[in-house]
Structure 1
Amino acid sequence: MNPSELLTKKDLQDFKTELFEMLKPLLENRNLYQKKWLKTKDVREILDISHNTLQNLRVEGKLRFTKIGGILYYKPEDIDKMLASAEKKSPKRS
């Protein structure tokens, strides 16, 4: 083994820090997704889509929602159904 290829404690610490920074948004989205009802902002973050794209999903009837007092709410299971439906329609990749 080449001595220049050895890892130091600092290398491992840096790697750990980078890894946690990369995982942090995923964990935050996971916590959001465990709510019973999601607001528009939550859904946009989870799906990483624009306001207009989310509006199109509603208008086209692809994503169910409930409107209470001017605020739109979505069920996580409806998001799952929409994604599963989209997955069935897309061609499989090998």
Structure 2
Amino acid sequence: MNVELITKEDLKQFKTDLLIEIKSLLKPGQGQSKQWLKSYEVRKLLNISPGTLQNLRVNGTLRYTKIGGMLYYKLEDIEKLLEQGSQ
């Protein structure tokens, strides 16, 4: 049986590494490398229902591109929508 001891220093280092990684994911534009997002990704990002996303498309609030039955949204358009909502 192989036993490995974890010290307080190991835990502190793990905490530091984990925080650095989380911060890098939360930085605008860095964690999200995609330029185009699918509908489910937009719904998850905005925390909205499929019907709400459809309303945003229908009333022209959010532009989209349809390719082969799939809807794609520009990340910069979503960021603009979020900025407008926070004002």
What band does the TM-score fall into relative to the shorter chain? 0.5 to 0.7
Alignment of 1:70 onto 2:32: no
Report sequence identity in percent: 56
Amino acid at match of 2:64: F
Counterpart position of 1:56: 55
What is the TM-score with the length of structure 1 in the denominator? 0.59
Q: 1:42 and 1:74 mapped to 2: Cα distance?
A: 9
Q: Size of the alignment, in residue pairs?
A: 74
Q: 2:62 and 2:33 mapped to 1: Cα distance?
A: 18
Equivalent residue runs for 1:1-94 within 5 Å: 27=25, 31=31, 33-88=32-87
Q: Deviations over 1:6-53 (max 9, x none)?
A: xxx6xxx6xx6xx98xx6xxx49x74x321110001111111111011
Q: 2:33 and 2:85 mapped to 1: Cα distance?
A: 22
What is the TM-score with the length of structure 2 in the denominator? 0.63
Determine which structure has the larger helix proportion and give its number: 1
Show structure 1 runs of 4+ deviating over 2 A: none
Structure 2: 5+ residue runs without aligned partners?
1-7
1:61 is displaced (CA, Å) by 0.7
Q: 1:42 and 1:52 mapped to 2: Cα distance?
A: 14
